Amino acid sequence: MFVEGFGEILVDILTVNPELSGVSSASSVLDTSNYTFHAVTFGKDAEGFNFHGHSVSTTQYVNDRPEDGIVSGYNLDRLALVNYASAAPFVSSYSPSSAHLHFSSTYNSVPIYPAPNHTRLELASTETTNASSFSATPPNLGHYPNAWVDSTLSNAWTIIGGFAPPSGAGKLYYITDSNGAYLASGVLNGMYNHLGLADKNGYVNVNQTSALAKTDVRANLINGPVIFSSLADSIHPASATVGLAIVPQRGDAVALAAYGGVTHFGVYCLDLNAMIASGISPPYSWDALNNNRIYKLVSKVTFWDNVLIHQDVVGVAGLEAGYNEGLLANRGPSYYLKFNFK
């Protein structure tokens, strides 16, 4: 659904002074690229930010194998998951719904119902309180942060969660059952951080260069979520529709699933007025490490259930294999948000 932020963007477009075209220092305000979709975020239920993978293993395993025994009191900086599901299809994967059921007396896992006046995905606090032992101050954003690129949070990435580290800096994860028995393990390597597409606040940059009709927009996802027109598009027939293709790629899909999944997608435009008032002038370049863009939520898509729900592939167990052995290794699950302006 569109929220009030979208109406505010339309008002900004209609009221900007066209005479700025003659002022060299201000003419870039009129550039149409300032007023399109610029970022997406992933979110879930607010209380879920203290459940699922939001704890770190304080156990060192002998020979790095849980089945070989443990040495206590050592923080190995691993993502530790407990699969409370006792039966197929989640034997060796991670099922968020089983965590919901196991902690049902203290855990309200329902995402907030969307309303037009929302300015963030979850209104309640999404601060991960379990990170206090790392002297980290987690952000309260309403959606998943990207702690890996934040120097003040990177040592607590395995608690705060969000997006996986880049290739070459991956984190081990282990899944056990409720009795501590080993089920599966792997290494999380994310594409969003590998390609520098997500800033520390979890805003994933939108690929503006692909904002044209495409036979298959998935071919262009290497540069982030893709804006596409429905004209001459094989996925959506010709209509007054603009779409946004979102793919949490490779380890990012696994990491998001491990931390409780995704029930919200947020779509953002630039808050041009706020940036100009802060002395930030266009053009607005993207910098994942030091992003000074200010965003305005313009659309919010909410689901009652986790859209990253998965199960083990027949004959291939584990969290990574559970989505689809071929698709996840290539890109990941694909989501298409359509906006009909008829």
Confidence label for 213 from pLDDT (cuts 50, 70 and 90): very low
Cα gap 97→252, rounded to integer Å: 19
Per the structure, the complete domain to which residue 41 belongs is given by 4-340
pLDDT at site 322: 65
Distances (CA, A) of 164 to 121, 157, 198, 268: 21, 9, 11, 22
pLDDT at site 215: 46
Token pair belonging to 2:
């569109």
- CB atoms closer than 10 angstroms to residue 21: 12
The string of pLDDT tens digits covering residues 146-171 is 999 988 888 888 889 889 998 888 88
Q: Given a cut of 80, is residue 48 above it in pLDDT? A: yes
Q: Given a cut of 50, is residue 212 above it in pLDDT? A: no
pLDDT at site 235: 52
CB of 37 within 8 A of CB of 268?
A: yes
216 burial level (CB within 10 Å; 0-12, 13-18, 19+): exposed
What's the whole-number average pLDDT of the chain?
Answer: 80
pLDDT at site 302: 96
Q: Given a cut of 80, is residue 264 above it in pLDDT? A: yes
Under DSSP, the state recorded for 313 is B
Regarding beta strands 241-246 and 70-72, do their DSSP bridges make them parallel or antiparallel, or are they unpaired? unpaired
pLDDT at site 22: 63
Between 35 and 216, name the one with better pLDDT: 35
Between 72 and 230, name the one with better pLDDT: 72
The string of pLDDT tens digits covering residues 14-46 is 888 776 766 666 777 877 788 889 999 999 999
Q: Given a cut of 90, is residue 119 above it in pLDDT? A: yes
How many domains is the chain built from?
Answer: 1
pLDDT at site 196: 87
Confidence label for 325 from pLDDT (cuts 50, 70 and 90): very low
CB of 187 within 8 A of CB of 202?
A: no
Token pair belonging to 214:
């495409």
Q: Given a cut of 70, is residue 298 above it in pLDDT? A: yes
Beta bridge partners of 299: 2, 267
Beta bridge partners of 2: 299
3-state secondary structure of 96: helix
Between 299 and 213, name the one with better pLDDT: 299
pLDDT at site 57: 74
Among 64-73, 198-207, 226-235, 293-302, the range with the most confident prediction by mean pLDDT is 293-302
Please give the sequence-ordered ranges of beta strands (E in DSSP) within 259-294, or none if there are none: 264-270
